[in-house]
Amino acid sequence: MTILMKAPAKINLTLDVLYKRTDGYHEVEMVMTTIDLADRLELRPRDDGKIVIETSASYVPADEHNLAYKAAKLIQERFQVTRGVTIAIDKRIPVAAGLGGGSSDAAATIKGLNQLWDLGLSTEEMAVLGAEVGSDVPFCIYGGTALAKGRGEQIIPLPGPPPFWIVLAKPPIGVSTAHVYQHLDLGQVSERPKTEQMIQALKRREFSLIVKSMGNVLETVTLKSYPEVQHLKQKLAQFGADGVLMSGSGPTVFGLTQKESRAQRIYNGLKGFCQDVYMVRSAGT
């Protein structure tokens, strides 16, 4: 039996950091939603007990550093599984971009192996396992739209937003999440995202209020280090995006609009300034 899984990317509609914890992580409050840009995973059973990663992208590790490998290894050990698996990853989500691609591959692996190895795990149990692989993995297990708290692993599902288009632009740099958190100075943050207002906006399915509530405190680090990220934000706004923000630790920025024709105009405009531009639908319902 071969299992096929879709591993979608996320964007952060809000990302607030409350304080730095004694364990080195940061206490966060963030609203995340799934978008229609996804890696494809094929999970093929192996009799030799090995975990083998095959990937189309040369810049993604094909060894034990791959988050899908880590997820499979964790499950093998935790449930004393003697069977192996080949995980073929068709990489479509930009890497080290703030879109959670690796986390989503790990989540898809956990869900896929739950089927392939008949583990009978609930969503909650899979999310707890996922948190051992990375802070964003539990959200990817649930998918949809959710408030994430703690270091990101505590998931409170939220109603999905009304449909909208997202234009993503990724400058040709990779940003390390650890580096961005390390250099965050909460004293420098003057504007916080309106998390509670975002939750209300989602409950009321009010696009204009969603746009007004967006914010990401990690922009204070990434925009300072990489002026091109700020430049792309300005271009997204200039070409007509209603809400513009950096996703996660960056460097990908996104613009939202409800009109397909406007999204197309923004996409065409951005193409003149940036090689990596995507136009996708929201998928967080």
Ligand X SMILES: C[C@@](CO)(OP(=O)(O)O)[C@H](O)COP(=O)(O)OP(=O)(O)OC[C@H]1O[C@@H](n2ccc(N)nc2=O)[C@H](O)[C@@H]1O
Supply the angle between the helices 67-78 and 123-133 in degrees, to the nearest 10.
Answer: 120
Q: Provide φ and ψ at 275, rounded to 5°.
A: -75, -40
User: Which C-beta is closer to ligand X: that of 222 or that of 239?
Assistant: 222
Task: Give the shortest CB-148-to-ligand X separation in angstroms.
Answer: 7
Question: Which residues are documented as binding site for ATP?
Answer: 94-104
Q: How far apart are the first and last CA of the chain?
A: 30
Active site residue 136: yes
Query: Can you give the three-state secondary structure of 3-65, one letter per residue?
Result: EEEEEEEEEEEEEEEEEECCCCCEEEEEEEEEEEEEEEEEEEEECCCCEEEEECCCCCCCCCC
User: Which C-beta is closer to ligand X: that of 4 or that of 18?
Assistant: 18
> Among 8, 112, 130, 134, which residue interacts with ligand X (rule: CB under 6 A)?
134
In terms of phi and psi (left: phi > 0; alpha: psi -120 to 50; beta: otherwise), the region of 96 is left
Pick what 76 binds: ligand X, ligand ADP, none; C-beta below 5 to 8 Å, kind-dependent: none
Catalytic residue among 39, 105, 136, 242: 136
Residue that the structure tokens 């958190």 belong to: 181
Q: Which residue is nearest to ligand X (CB)?
A: 248
Cα 111 to chain centroid, rounded: 17
Stretch that binds ligand X, among 69-77, 97-105, 109-117, 274-282 (CB under 6 A): 97-105
Active site residue 10: yes
> Among 136, 222, 256, 257, which residue interacts with ligand X (rule: CB under 6 A)?
136
Q: Which residues bind ligand ADP (CB under 6 A)?
A: 60-61, 65-68, 89, 95-103, 105, 177, 248-249
Residue that the structure tokens 């300072």 belong to: 224
Task: Give the shortest CB-265-to-ligand ADP separation in angstroms.
Answer: 27
Residues near ligand X (CB under 6 A) are 12, 15, 24-26, 28, 30, 98, 100, 103, 134-136, 151-152, 177-178, 181, 248-249
**Residues carrying an active site annotation:** 10, 136
